[in-house]
Structure 1
Amino acid sequence: MSNRIVITTDYLGEGDEVDRLLRSRGCEPVYAPSTLRRSPDEQAHLFDGAVAGIVSSEPITREMLAAAPTLKVVARSGVGYDSVDIAAAADLGITVCNTPGTNHHAVAELTLSLMLNCARRLTTVTRAVEEGAWPREAGTELRGKTLGVVGFGASGRAITSLGVALGMRVLVSTAHPGPSESPGIEFVDFDQVVSEADYLTLHARATGQPVIGVDQLAAMKTTAYLINTARGSLVDESALADALRHQRIAGTALDVLDREPMRDDDPLRGVENLWIISHLAGQTVEARQRSGLAAAEAVLAVLDGATPNGRIV
């Protein structure tokens, strides 16, 4: 039987801890780093002869899965799995796993960084200094402000703890209230979170429809900031661009877009009071190590006939 494992996660490579683990178990790692721009032919042959894939956030379609008759398992080296056609995998008998609990602190810390950038306009000031200016802008403090959190998974819980530690009022909207790592948070309905937040941060799963659209943007404070480190599809980007151009909200910081990388014709191009980074929330040295090993262990469990951690289907 083939022991070929295709790895598209760009931070995994020959000789690292994941590579050594897989080879010690008789597997043959093959590296095809994600570019998010594979040709149809490259997509069709990505998993040729493979029994497993360890993948990043690039789309794994029904056509790609159907073209790989030996494929048994696809493991996402991350928490989100909406990039994988789950229905197709179930139809084809392919197990899909993710790696929960590996990057939530990294996501929360980056979320906090984006909030601080909004509050103190750090990138704007840095750019101005590089261009020869010496701006003396007055920023705002996070203490005493209202942090609105949509979603209460691991990263949502982690950012609530940071908000409480900073002296923020913390409101949470979730279908599954549960114990927080910090006391003092309030579980309220979604509309209240949207309308009262000074910083509205998204930590929910993709739903197939935006949760932040025209109506929600209109309900936000004009002084509020929107932060998204979850999934690009949670935000109607055209509506967001319009809201920013008309100063209906103060600004936005995004780690994720609906289509990545950013297109030349993206509606958010050229919009002011908008800061976009390249899907880095879970990308710390520590989180990468945890998620890479968790994905490899999930693959090995499936190949050994066991139930893996993080199994989706």
Structure 2
Amino acid sequence: MHPGDEADRYLRMRGHTTVHTPLAGVHDHNRIAAAYADADAALVGHEPLSADVLARAPRLRAVVRTGVGYDAIDVPAASRLGITVSNLPGINANAVAEYTLGLLLAAARHLVHSATAVAAGTWPREPGRELRGATLGLLGYGATARAVVPLAQAFGMRVLCTTGVPLEERTDGTVHFVELPQLLAEADYVSVHTALTDRSRGLLGAAAFAAMKPTAVLINTARGGIVDEGALAHAVRTGRIAGAALDVVSQEPLAPDSQLRGVDGIVVHSHLAGQSEQARTAAGLEGAAELDASLAGRPRHAVSAGLLPVNAQRPDTTTAKER
């Protein structure tokens, strides 16, 4: 997001003053708190908004996450402080779905290994695997997983899915809905598309990897905390599973001493799945609209209980911080 872009123009047309404070790289707690100190509302990326950070922002009344996952925000603390927290469901589903297929293809045909080896002066010729006829297991059935389904099927893949979505919402008759043990046992590729919650944290650990095929590959474009990274590194290093392509990790950027480093078969990318030009533009504009609606007491995608009343008192001129 940049000064003068569509989101910025939208907010200014709605009477808000915008301040851009990019927070890239390693997250610094005090720097994050300082960025929100005088803001009435904020469009945020992945930076963590702890209870302490929120408490140090006395004017803050609305936070909009310009994506789907909001696990980095202390939503209960926001609710206690009367701060509305919103996300943008499905805003980057197509971008993440296409990226997921890219990771599948790269893993199946050893594309990263091949390019790296050629750059190093060798000429590898190991055969890859075709996706046609393979089984893809989806953990979750939200907007992104649903967007993955037709792309995978276009390559001739069989699709399994395990989800807590109610039966009446499982409308795709071409998807085989199964319990997690069956999915792990049958899938050639396991792709994660579920939110990080207390129930899903560490869901894919040693027991899950032991249940998977030795030829299986893990794909994660959701949240790093869903995977036990130590168990994953051990499983790939010992041949328990074939490999993993990760767009997300538990600590971002990847820590120098991460157990995922130096493991043949594990490829880590820099959280790019939702970062297409189209998705970024849509997220900025939709996020700006949600922020404006939240300040007016009419959020459309609120995930917190601390909703701002329509008649709440606030300054005539608000400051909307964009990330």
Give the TM-score of the pair, scaled to structure 1: 0.93
Offset of 1:185 from its aligned partner?
1.1
Task: Give the partner amino acid of 2:219.
Answer: I
Offset of 1:27 from its aligned partner?
1.1
Q: Does 1:187 align with 2:177?
A: yes
Q: Does 1:216 align with 2:205?
A: no
How far apart, in 2, do the equivalents of 1:183 and 1:284 lie?
30
Offset of 1:309 from its aligned partner?
2.2
Q: Does 1:310 align with 2:301?
A: yes
How far apart, in 2, do the equivalents of 1:23 and 1:263 lie?
39
* Matching residue within 230, 236, 246 for 2:222: 230
The answer for unaligned runs of 5 or more in structure 1 is 1-11
Taking structure 1 as reference, are residues 263 and 17 closer, same or farther at Cα in structure 2, changes over 3 Å only? same
Task: Give the partner amino acid of 2:301.
Answer: G
How far apart, in 1, do the equivalents of 2:283 and 2:220 lie?
21
Deviation per CA, 1:232-255: give whole Å up to 9, x if none.
110000100111110110110000
* Matching residue within 289, 293, 299 for 1:297: 289
Contact 2:248 2:271 in 1 (8 A): yes
**Which residue in the other structure is 1:266 paired with?**
258
- SS of 1:19's partner is helix
How far apart, in 2, do the equivalents of 1:96 and 1:301 lie?
12
**Which residue in the other structure is 1:5 paired with?**
none
Q: Does 1:198 align with 2:173?
A: no
Task: Give the partner amino acid of 2:204.
Answer: I
- SS of 1:227's partner is strand
**Which residue in the other structure is 1:19 paired with?**
8
- Bigger relative contact order, structure 1 or 2 (CA pairs below 8 A, ≥6 apart): 2
How far apart, in 2, do the equivalents of 1:40 and 1:310 lie?
27
Task: Give the partner amino acid of 2:155.
Answer: L
Contact 2:215 2:242 in 1 (8 A): yes
The number of residues matched between the two structures is: 301
**Which residue in the other structure is 1:157 paired with?**
146
Offset of 1:38 from its aligned partner?
4.2
Offset of 1:180 from its aligned partner?
6.2
Deviation per CA, 1:204-225: give whole Å up to 9, x if none.
1112321100100011000000
Give the TM-score of the pair, scaled to structure 2: 0.90
* Matching residue within 129, 137, 146 for 2:118: 129
Contact 2:23 2:32 in 1 (8 A): no
How far apart, in 2, do the equivalents of 1:302 and 1:296 lie?
10
Is the deviation greater in 131-140 or in 88-97?
Answer: 131-140
* Matching residue within 274, 295, 305 for 1:282: 274
The answer for unaligned runs of 5 or more in structure 2 is 305-323
Offset of 1:194 from its aligned partner?
0.9
Contact 1:161 1:181 in 2 (8 A): no
Moved over 3 A (4+): 177-183
- SS of 2:244's partner is strand
Taking structure 1 as reference, are residues 178 and 286 closer, same or farther at Cα in structure 2, changes over 3 Å only? farther
How far apart, in 2, do the equivalents of 1:236 and 1:51 lie?
37
Deviation per CA, 1:151-195: give whole Å up to 9, x if none.
000011111221222211111000114556854210010111111
Taking structure 1 as reference, are residues 222 and 38 closer, same or farther at Cα in structure 2, changes over 3 Å only? closer
How far apart, in 2, do the equivalents of 1:87 and 1:110 lie?
32
Contact 1:46 1:64 in 2 (8 A): no
Deviation per CA, 1:38-83: give whole Å up to 9, x if none.
4343233221211101000111110010011110100001000001
